[in-house]
Structure 1
Amino acid sequence: MNFIPYGRQDINAADVAAVVETLQSDWLTQGPAIERFERAIADYCGADHGVAVNSATSALHIACLALGLGPGKRLWTSPNTFVASANCALYCGAKVDFVDIEFDTGNMSVAALAEKLQRAERQGALPDILVPVHFAGQPCDMPAISGLAERYGFRIIEDASHAIGARYGDERVGCGKYADITVFSFHPVKIITTAEGGMALTNSPELAAAMRRLRSHGITREAAEMEGPSEGAWYYQQVELGFNYRMTDIQAALGMSQLQRLDEFVARRNLLAARYDRLLADLPVGRPALRPPMTSAWHLYVVHAPDGARRRLFDAMRAANIGVNVHYIPVHLQPYYRKRGFKPGDFPEAERHYAAAISLPLFPGLSEADQDRVAAVLAASLKQENS
């Protein structure tokens, strides 16, 4: 019986040809394919600038630095995320804290955020940066979060690693209306892939220029950014401490080809998610909630198992060659973060979500027959659980 993974890239002949064409070109690293890919993603989302990097983690890091995060400053994010959403603050020497989630969407709770901001204002401990995470592909309530940013004066980095192709109403995630910077991931299980890679979008030319320097050792060849005159066409200066976070032309060529099918991928994921809704309608599991007018890119389809049943259901489905997964172990429960003072009970909705969450297989190449098998094994496992 074939193994069904929870996520999988979709590579076609055009993708392969794009990579081969680049391999046969004069550019393999920082060449014209990167600029084309940056421009294409920015245009697709409605943003002014794109900065391609080697991972979404790198994009989060340089986004924080570009916004001035450093020692003595604070970043808040969701506990229901991969650790990178919080680690980026620590890379900068800043403090990190979390805002609890809505159990049914997995996204940051606006009510919890508003309450925490009120307390922080009284204590003189407001965040400098907020990183809302668009869990499973559905955007957070960004109009409300943006309104709170205007009131309390913090900056916003959208962690949209799951959400390229998603929308808030009529506007695409990444357009820059509700955030200073939006970050995408192009890992193979995400919506489109560059193998590894990420991108930061912004409407600020200053932030874009800062992130371009930071991804490449803090080096500039722009005379306007130098101290003193340029000495010639060969000349460059390191004007700040940066990193080697560059994407390659090979990756960008793959991403550019994948982008041509982004809408097709998102449509297929939406179709499969709606089909899961129908297949699971009579089962005693919690299905993902949607918050109109937000539309999801459906990176993940996460169900909530009955109380205490998650481990047994997970093991039963893995035993049936169905590669279910769990998203996410709350960041504050990781040993590293417990050593920083966080403890169980700090963010109860994120912990409740984790205790029940199972990510079912969802990717464009998932056949309806395989999806039927996933649903049937889940139903049989639930029946056995209740017998």
Structure 2
Amino acid sequence: MAEPFLPYGRQVIEEDDIAAVAEALRGDFLTTGPQVGAFEAAFAEAVGAPHAVACINGTAALHMTMMALGVGEGDVCIVPSVTFLATANCARYVGAEVVFSDVDPQSGLMGPDHLAEALQRAGGRRVAAVLPVHLRGAVADLPGLARLAQDAGAVLVEDACHALGSAHRSEAGERPVGACDWSAASTFSFHPVKTIATGEGGMVVTADAGLAERLRLARSHGMVRPEGGDPWWYEMDSPGYNYRLPDILCALGRSQLAKLDRFVSARRALSLAYARRLEGLSPHLRLAHDPEWSRTAPHLLTILADFEALGVSRKAVIEGLARQGIGAQVHYIPVHTQPYYRRRYGDQALPGAAAWYARALSLPLYPGLDEAGVERVVSGLARTLGLGDRI
């Protein structure tokens, strides 16, 4: 019998998750009901944030945040080029321009030096927001980035869609990603490949009560019901969107959130298993770097490979792994190279992003994987690279 296919990421849904959704389906509310507030409260507690606002996906979380912060025409947002499209697109949704920053080629993260250079390229325009991405779950240098953003008059918004369960370490201790110690807001995603899943879903957390209220307006058409008005009355001061997360999905999110520690522990253990098995496989292959301040809850298991030195193309490696029932992916194509942004801003040289992209390859990582699966992946990788069965 053929071995099961191992995707690069997938959800882990258990019987209690199914029971939680079934219970919500039997309730009075399929949307805008009690599960939403309960999920928000549990999530805020989990990440140490005073306020949490649920929405339909991570992209919506970013868009709502730009709206709620008043980012708009004439503004600039600085975004690392190694990220998913949504981090940059959220600025364009509100009419702001994007200045792409370079990244460290070993970690894929935007650092203070990269931000300082991008601020110079902003050319005196108002920089409204800086959006560091905690790529793979590795935490960006939040204190360093926050100092530069503050000096530039910009707010820091963390794209933490990869980083639920990660923390920033310092001599003072660990602070969870989402506590918003250095940022105005942090955004999360609950796509099936993320640390917890709701199918689709997102969350914005913040320490600012006023920002939280504006986020709630943005997710539901900008609609308010003034006190003392007629029972049917509502008003809209400015348009919002229908970005509400249904009760059914919030019920799944609450069930999944209760397993966060277990899921994170499993991801960390699997990452260590990969590190042991990859060590010594080839001098031209290594794991992506996590900075010393990052207590990473791994979302992706990314290796950096010198494919030219290995004598094989990345496409051939991905196809060779697929023939062995092993999925792989590339995270990400630098956003500044996308046709839309090239037409808008021209060709740009970001050598760190180019070096990262040339070598990055993500291998299977999810709590349902076991060490035998890791052994199978690394053995398959060794065969595909022509290194023999080295495991």
TM-score norm. by structure 2 comes to 0.93
Distance 2:346 2:25 in 1: 48
Distance 2:225 2:279 in 1: 58
2:58 corresponds to which residue? 56
Identity %: 43
Q: Is 2:93 the partner of 1:91? A: yes
Write the mapping of 1:308-387 to structure 2, written as runs, cut at 5 A: 308=308, 309-343=313-347, 345-383=348-386
Distance 2:146 2:323 in 1: 45
Q: Measure how far apart 1:32 and its partner are.
A: 0.5
Q: Is 2:191 the partner of 1:198? A: no
Distance 2:98 2:118 in 1: 14
Q: Measure how far apart 1:264 and its partner are.
A: 0.6
1:177 corresponds to which residue? 181
CA contact (8 A) 1:133 1:140 kept: yes
Q: Measure how far apart 1:305 and its partner are.
A: 1.6
- Deviation by residue 1:105-160 (Cα, 9 ceiling, x = unmatched): 1111221112332454xx31252111111000111010111111222211111000
Distance 2:226 2:178 in 1: 27
Q: Measure how far apart 1:384 and its partner are.
A: 5.4
Distance 1:222 1:359 in 2: 50
Distance 1:126 1:310 in 2: 40
- Deviation by residue 1:351-386 (Cα, 9 ceiling, x = unmatched): 11111111000000002111101000111222259x
Q: Is 2:276 the partner of 1:278? A: yes
2:158 corresponds to which residue? 158
Structure 2 runs not aligned, ≥5 long: none
Distance 2:226 2:376 in 1: 57
Q: Measure how far apart 1:222 and its partner are.
A: 4.5
Distance 1:150 1:71 in 2: 21
Distance 1:234 1:255 in 2: 31
Structure 1 runs not aligned, ≥5 long: 224-229
- Deviation by residue 1:73-128 (Cα, 9 ceiling, x = unmatched): 111111111100000011001111111001111111221112332454xx312521
1:247 corresponds to which residue? 245
Q: Measure how far apart 1:174 and its partner are.
A: 0.4
Which AA in structure 2 matches 1:7? G
CA contact (8 A) 2:112 2:148 kept: no
Q: Measure how far apart 1:340 and its partner are.
A: 1.1
TM-score norm. by structure 1 comes to 0.94
Distance 1:4 1:277 in 2: 18
CA contact (8 A) 1:117 1:126 kept: no
Query: Secondary structure of the residue that 2:286 maps to in structure 1?
Result: coil
Distance 1:61 1:157 in 2: 11
Shift >4 Å, 4+ stretches: none
CA contact (8 A) 1:99 1:109 kept: no
Q: Figure out how many residues of one structure are paired with residues of the other and give that number.
A: 376
CA contact (8 A) 2:139 2:293 kept: no
RMSD: 1.4
CA contact (8 A) 1:168 1:293 kept: yes
